[in-house]
Structure 1
Amino acid sequence: MKEDFLHYLWKFKKFDTLNLKTVNEEEVTIINTGNYLELAGPDFFNAQLKIGDQKWAGNVEMHVKASDWYLHLHEKDTAYENVILHVVWEYDADIYRRNNTEIPVLVLKNYVSTETISNYKKLKSPKSWIYCEKQIAQIPVFIFKNWQERLFFDRLERKSQIIYDLLNETNQDWEAVLFCLLAKNFGLNTNGNAFLQFAKAIPFSVIRKESFELESLEALFFGTTGLLEADKEDVYFKDLKFKYYYLLHKYQIEKVYTEPLQFFKHRPDNFPTIRLAQLAGLYYQHQNLFSKIIKLKSIDSIYKLFAISASSYWQNHYQFDKESPKKTKSLSDSFIDLVVINTIVPLQFAYAKTIDESIAEDLISILNDIRPEKNSIIDKFKSFGVTSENAFETQSLLQLKSQYCDVSGCLKCAVGIELLKNN
């Protein structure tokens, strides 16, 4: 038995509420179960109860065993002074407040049906991947779709945290925040942190001023990531290196190196050299990029904006000093999809919140037009009968797995609650 089951029972009143009595035989009437805030302190705040002939307003605390009150040191915590009822599964100790008055105890298992307990045990049966893997495909479409929308926006809230942090670091400069986010995105998983470090190391005011000269942007990007430190015979390499040190002196920028960039296990088109060159091309082609991105409402308009390629040098190079067959290094649709999912949609969401604008339908529409992501988590859900038609659905499933399935949050999940009700 786990406390989350007690929370579920109390929150949804999944027990016999008509004949409740404390261990001291006082009748209990629930007027209001209180607010389940999941914060530090008692489990339910501002409950309203009638115990015996007295009406109470206060908090409700829950434990599997009554003695857990002392195990958790609640008797020393003033936050628990206003507890008016102690709800437990097993009664094994009397509980007292700091002023030595006894706290009424309700043993909940006396009022829960065997069917409800059986359903809970079935839901929590041993899993190979997730608890509901044999049942999740049975959830009604209406319930599952509504839950996916909630999951999607919860995921956007989590992704927005880095945006708010960057806003504080950049003195509320949305253009600078976008540059940092795009840099991290262009670095992919392997080089994302290094790309974010280089983006933070260059004052965005310098990017603004130098964005009209592509070679200056490449010099700053390659120089800050440490790719210009070696000695090479390549003429373009030497030009970039000279310009990089010139720009450091011009703008009095402190020389900062990021963590080493990784080439190993990358396909050549994902080499950090190519991604840096493409990022430079994007900022050379589009000044005031934030004001353009924030207005985009369709995937086609996004593809059009990101229709850029690396500079001419990189058409027949993947690394400095190593010539390769000529190939236009443009951004692929699949790469742009990643940018949309990880940067554009979260940025639009966060910005809309700051100006109190609702764009929920626009964001869902954009991701509905993007192909579903391909990874082991999405494949595993598919093996259990949960298929995804677009990126909106895959993002929802990723949130479901990480924030509910992985932490056994079945009783906070619409899927788990529905299964518990219907098993």
Structure 2
Amino acid sequence: MSHRRPAVKGSWSFSNPAVRAWLFQILAIVAVVSIAVYLIHNTITNLNNRGITSGFAFLDRSAGFGIVQHLIDYEQGDTYGRVFLVGLYNTLLVSALCIVFASFLGFFLGLARLSDNWLLRKISTVYIETFRNIPPLLQIFFWYFAVLRNLPGPRQAVSAFELFFLSNRGLYIPAPQMGEGLGAFVVALLLAVVLAVGLYRYNKAHQRKTGQLRRSWPVILAVLILLPLLAQTVFGAALHWDVPQLRGFNFRGGMALIPELAALTLALSVYTSAFIAEIIRAGIQAVPHGQHEAARSLGLPNPVTLRQVIIPQALRVIIPPLTSQYLNIVKNSSLAAAIGYPDMVSLFAGTVLNQTGQAIETIAITMSVYLIISLIISLLMNIYNRRIALIER
């Protein structure tokens, strides 16, 4: 009988699992690097053959086109770098609006799914099952073409108090202008916030020591209103308002919210709120029922039980999937190109790419922007998630 010699531990033979693991990893790295080198070399060769220069020097060239909405000053003669900033701010604007609206709407819909009211529970169920099963692009088209574009023209615009005007050109609202008392107003507001936070923490400490619950919100509300109001009375108005007025075929002055922004905000908020509502409902139901019974045995009313007992525990389940929905909002905002909203994709990966031919640079910049925004949102949500996490000792 022949006896096979046992493998020596730490030997360099191919039968050693550790050697095979290292070999396969090295081969994988070599393959990835080789593919990357080939793609880069092939790209550079094709660019040279077509006479296309690479680099980011085009950012200093004049764009030569107008943008219907810009949060910063912009003229047609500004550079492509300025166009990048306009697209970035517009993307951040619609993402922030959708995150806020979808969060509030989803929270109340999630609570409605658990309500004892039969009608409220069924309405929220129909809302959730309807809107989360319709693609967001179709919802954007619905709000834009079927609703907002069918509003009356500027001359027949719907008016509210002669300050707000809604037409198929958008929503025109008064625009704030800085006044002489702005500095004093900001200082008074910051002081009011500091006092409000201090009072809230003091009452919380008093509650932990004595068990007595003090209501902080009446005093906090009074401080937040009276101090800034006093500053305006003494130092003058903090803001003046530029009211829009109909001149010719459109409104002039004020601030315009274009239909593309409204349609995108409505569609993404409604769509994402349906998913957030289910996350809220699942998080609340994940809290053990004994917590409800313990709060009820202490005589706590339902609103206090929900606010002080249930929601803080449910957040530990809610935050991780909620982060994914916030990331989806940012990524879905790129659908704005379908209706011409001037976001990063529409401006930079669309108009600028077509004018300059710098496909690699424009696409790389656009992808990097979405990646950085997503990473920042994930970082902030993870920081908050760690703060509310249970720590086992």
TM-score range, shorter chain: under 0.3
Q: Specify which structure has the bigger relative contact order, considering alpha-carbon pairs within 8 angstroms and separated by 6 or more residues.
A: 2
TM-score normalised by L of structure 1: 0.24
Determine which structure has the larger helix proportion and give its number: 2
TM-score normalised by L of structure 2: 0.26
